[in-house]
């Protein structure tokens, strides 16, 4: 006999398949054992797998946890969007605002708007200036225009143009030397592109060399570019090979991060059990 676990795969931050960032979502009635969740995430081999259960403590509608193939992480934006998409569109949830209790970042609120746009309310992670480490030059091929570290453990480097960013081929061993939870590299959007900024995110430290679209990185990027550009509402694109569009708004010490999602797959994971 096996235990069958619902399994969905959603391309987050995209309206079209084969773009954005794919995340797996496993909704269950109670938490699976930690080692089972980690094994499922490793088997899925996506940058993140989300596990969601009804919140037993009544602090929120659901409890939510995120695992990479290697470890559990404190916050994952695209897998949160994917989870909300599944609940709204596949699991019969008939309201437009959901709350999620988390292990490390409190209660998150996610809402569904017009045209299926899903907006997530996350704590901002404002970067502070830091000394440029020697490894950064080897990663970027030259000095960064600006460099900082954020409370969420991510590092932020600014380069001179979207073209420089697009052509960047980082040495992931050098990225590992930076420590932390990953490196965001960003540039101002080109004139006429309709984009305020573009970015890429590298996190070999957590088993993800390059993440296609990273919601959590935009909790760092939004306060940075809001200050630089003197505007609170920003249009962004993560220019990985898959790419994805992110709509950001700074609201006090919170960041609203919004995007679309599209279902790629629904299935069942068959686990040994009673």
110-137, pLDDT tens digit by residue?
999 988 999 999 999 999 999 999 899 9
| Number of Cβ within a 10 Å radius of residue 17 | 12
Task: Band the pLDDT of 1: cuts 50, 70, 90.
Answer: low
* Residue 13 sits in the same domain as residue 61: yes
Please indicate, yes or no, whether residues 108 and 182 belong to a single structural domain of this protein. no
Which domain CATH number covers 243? 3.10.310.10
Which residue shows structure tokens 């609120």?
109
pLDDT of residue 77: 95
pLDDT digits (tens, 9 = 90+) for 197-232: 999 999 998 888 999 999 999 999 999 999 999 999
Q: What is the mean pLDDT of the chain?
A: 96
Q: Name the nearest CA neighbour of 24 among 55, 43, 16, 211.
A: 43
Domain count, the chain: 2
Q: Is the pLDDT of residue 156 over 70?
A: yes
Same-domain status, 115 and 217: no
Q: Is the pLDDT of residue 65 over 50?
A: yes
pLDDT of residue 2: 80
Cβ–Cβ < 8 Å for 145, 170: no
Do 136 and 246 lie in a common domain?
A: yes
Structural domain span for residue 87: 2-123+259-272
Please tell me what DSSP assigns to residue 264: E
Same domain, 266 and 243: no
Tell me the CB-side half-sphere exposure of residue 171, using CA atoms within 13 A: 12
As a whole number, mean pLDDT of residues 242-271 equals 98
Instruction: Enumerate the active-site residues.
Output: 48
Task: Let me know whether 78 and 157 are in one domain.
Answer: no
E strands in 43-163 = 49-54, 62-67, 72-73, 97-101, 107-112, 118-123, 128-129, 146-149, 155-158
CA distance 244 to 233: 17
The number of beta carbons lying within 10 Å of the beta carbon of residue 1 is 7
The confidence band for 274, taking pLDDT boundaries of 50, 70 and 90, is very low
* In a shared domain, residues 247 and 150: yes
């Amino acid at each position: 006999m096996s235990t069958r676990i619902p399994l969905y795969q959603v391309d987050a931050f995209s309206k079209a398949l084969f773009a954005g960032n794919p995340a797996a979502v496993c909704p269950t009635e109670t938490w699976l054992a930690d080692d089972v969740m980690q094994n499922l995430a490793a088997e899925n081999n996506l940058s993140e797998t989300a596990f969601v259960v009804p919140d037993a403590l009544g602090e929120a509608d659901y409890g939510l946890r995120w695992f990479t193939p290697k470890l559990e992480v404190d916050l994952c934006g695209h897998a949160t969007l994917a989870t909300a998409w599944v609940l709204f569109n596949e699991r019969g949830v008939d309201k437009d605002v959901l709350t999620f209790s988390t292990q490390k970042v409190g209660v998150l609120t996610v809402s569904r708007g017009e045209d299926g746009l899903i907006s997530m309310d996350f704590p901002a992670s404002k970067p502070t200036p830091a000394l440029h480490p020697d490894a950064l030059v080897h990663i970027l091929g030259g000095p960064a225009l600006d460099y900082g570290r954020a409370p969420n453990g991510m590092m932020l480097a600014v380069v001179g143009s979207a073209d420089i960013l697009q052509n960047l081929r980082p040495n992931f061993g050098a990225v590992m030397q930076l420590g932390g939870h990953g490196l965001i590299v960003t540039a101002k959007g080109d004139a006429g592109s309709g984009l305020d900024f573009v970015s890429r995110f590298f996190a070999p430290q957590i088993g993800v060399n390059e993440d296609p679209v990273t919601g959590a990185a935009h909790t760092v990027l939004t306060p940075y570019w809001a200050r630089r550009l003197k505007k609170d509402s920003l249009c962004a694109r993560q220019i990985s090979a898959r790419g994805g569009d992110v709509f950001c708004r700074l609201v006090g010490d919170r960041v609203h991060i919004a995007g679309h999602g599209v279902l790629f797959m629904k299935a069942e994971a068959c686990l040994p059990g009673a």
